[in-house]
Amino acid sequence: MLRSLRSIARVLFLVLTFLLIAPLVRPQDASTGAIRGIVLDPDARPVASATIAVANSATGANYSAVSDAEGHFSFELLPPGDYSARAEIKAMSPEVTPQIHVDVGGIAEIQFHLALAGASETVTVSGAPLLVETVPSSVSTVIDEKAINDLPLNGRRFTDLSLLAPGVTQDPRGLTSASNGDLAFGGIRGYQSSFLVDGADNNNAFFSQARGRYRAPYQFSNEVVQEFRVSSNTYGAELGRAGGAVVNVVTKSGSNHFHGTGFYFVRDSFFNAQQPTLGFKPSDRQQQFGGTFGGPIKTNRIFFFAGYDQHIFHVPTVVNFLSGGSVLVPQAGTGPAQAGDYEDCPSTQTFASPNCDKTQVFAAASQLNTLAGTFHSDLLGNAGFLKVDATLSARQHLSMRLNTSRYYVANNVFFDPASPITN
């Protein structure tokens, strides 16, 4: 009986301790950001009980808070995007900030300096706020929407832009004939990294890579990615497990205004120079096209965003022997093979010597020569995306996302013509 009472007492103690500590813990989430700051009077003293309102420029979502006794306030778990903020209190003039951008996993620090109100109320527009965390807890780099849209990217796989972050290199052990392979952070092998999309795990447990990674050209079109953060050291526990880096991706959402994009890219052999190892220029063409469209389902409440990306890849595989079409195997250290380098084996010799296998070598060469030529090779791929966001309240947000990725190949395994597999 005494033991039961002690066990119950321990449980109650743990519950009470959690309830007391929980309000002191700042909420953390991998797919959101925060706005924090302080309200000061004309003498730079903290202003308590000031009302601070923050509004999302795209969706119209509103958030409010009150400054504490030291003038501090914070808005946590904000979806990445552009915001405006306003602070006000009785007997002082309100102040409005310029547009503030909240990065994924980042903190925007702002300060309000309220002036005493005169005979008539005026609204002061403050200077540009700090857009980065002043005391960062992790080593990270944000690849924003402008970089994703404007920087040239062969293959249009957005994660390759992680190479812009310090300490990121291509892992040579993951390279294929036509892929950048895994990315290594700080010299640690690529499969030690972790990938998150909209706060959810996006890793392939079997290959220890992001889903799709270099076994498929891409899972998400550049057009549907808003931004992503590469955190390579001392990142928080909310980002999950990783021995290397964490790539934290946020996809785009709809807004109160209908908007969309369209794109078309083409690469044709007509514009290319002839390869130095070939005596002709094979005909090939790559096309990539698609677009996005988003807008409101219910103004200020429910939004949608959709995207589609199609890739048509027709690049033939050319089998060409360097001898100009004939296979001749040279003897070790004697230079290019000649017919006189070989002689028939005596019928009494059990094992062939290096100079008595002429018949076998040239028979094999004749068979291989029939395999030379140009072989049809293509890849047809598409990636679809649909996202619906609903603002239930200032503290409750619902997001639903569906993304698809399909690829059909012939004599080409996901951009790797050197692969021995044919499907």
Helices marked H in 110-235: 145-150
- Element spanning 10, H or E: helix 2-21
Asked, for residue 392, whether it belongs to a domain, the answer is yes
pLDDT for 334: 46
pLDDT for 21: 43
Asked, for residue 393, whether it belongs to a domain, the answer is yes
Residue-range definition of the domain harbouring residue 45: 29-119+128-135
Say yes or no: 398 and 256 in one domain: yes
Q: Are strands 168-170 and 209-210 parallel, antiparallel or unpaired?
A: unpaired
pLDDT for 358: 66
Q: Which residue has the higher pLDDT, 33 or 376?
A: 33
Asked, for residue 336, whether it belongs to a domain, the answer is no
Band (pLDDT 50/70/90 cuts) for residue 152 is confident
Worst-scoring range by mean pLDDT, 88-97, 268-277, 314-323? 314-323
Band (pLDDT 50/70/90 cuts) for residue 330 is very low
Q: Which residue has the higher pLDDT, 310 or 335?
A: 310
pTM equals: 0.75
User: 370-400, pLDDT tens digit by residue?
Assistant: 777 788 888 888 999 999 999 988 788 899 9
Q: Which residue reads 């889903």 in tokens? A: 211
Q: Give the domain CATH number at 65.
A: 2.60.40.1120
Asked, for residue 339, whether it belongs to a domain, the answer is no
Band (pLDDT 50/70/90 cuts) for residue 269 is confident
Query: Mean pLDDT throughout 246-273?
Result: 92
pLDDT for 313: 84
Amino acid at 81: G
Say yes or no: 157 and 228 in one domain: yes
Overall domain count for the chain: 2
pLDDT for 205: 76
pLDDT for 326: 45
User: Which residues are CB-contacts of 341 (< 8 A; sequence separation ≥ 6)?
Assistant: 330, 331, 334, 355
- Element spanning 362, H or E: helix 358-369
Q: Give the domain CATH number at 207.
A: 2.170.130.10
Say yes or no: 261 and 183 in one domain: yes
Worst-scoring range by mean pLDDT, 140-149, 184-193, 207-216, 286-295? 207-216
Say yes or no: 114 and 161 in one domain: no
- The CA distance from 189 to 247, in Å, is 14
Closest CA relative to residue 98, chosen from 49, 131, 62: 131
Closest CA relative to residue 131, chosen from 110, 108, 98, 112: 108
pLDDT for 116: 86
Per the prediction, the chain carries an average pLDDT of 78
pLDDT for 340: 52
Q: Which residue reads 């857009």 in tokens? A: 131
pLDDT for 157: 83
Say yes or no: 207 and 303 in one domain: yes
Asked, for residue 346, whether it belongs to a domain, the answer is no
Say yes or no: 84 and 34 in one domain: yes
Query: In this structure, are residues 292 and 224 in contact, taking their beta carbons and an 8 Å threshold?
Result: yes
Q: Which residue has the higher pLDDT, 69 or 178?
A: 69
- The CA distance from 348 to 353, in Å, is 12
Band (pLDDT 50/70/90 cuts) for residue 325 is very low
Amino acid at 312: I
- The CA distance from 83 to 193, in Å, is 31
pLDDT for 249: 93
pLDDT for 202: 87
Query: In this structure, are residues 260 and 281 in contact, taking their beta carbons and an 8 Å threshold?
Result: no
Say yes or no: 105 and 213 in one domain: no
Asked, for residue 11, whether it belongs to a domain, the answer is no
| Cβ-defined contacts of 95-99 (< 8 Å, 24+) | 95/123, 95/124, 95/125, 95/126, 96/123, 96/124, 96/125, 96/126, 97/125, 97/126, 97/129, 98/125, 98/126, 98/127, 98/128, 98/129, 99/57
User: 45-71, pLDDT tens digit by residue?
Assistant: 999 999 999 999 999 999 999 999 999
Query: In this structure, are residues 153 and 225 in contact, taking their beta carbons and an 8 Å threshold?
Result: no
Say yes or no: 147 and 111 in one domain: no
Say yes or no: 176 and 300 in one domain: yes
Of 77, 106, 135, the residue at which a domain comes to its end is 135
pLDDT for 16: 56
- The CA distance from 225 to 162, in Å, is 14
> Which of 113-122, 186-195, 266-275 is modeled with the greatest confidence?
266-275
Say yes or no: 70 and 159 in one domain: no
Q: Which residue reads 């795209």 in tokens? A: 58
b/e per residue 381-406 (b: at least 16 CB within 10 A): bbbbbebbbebeeeeebebebebebe
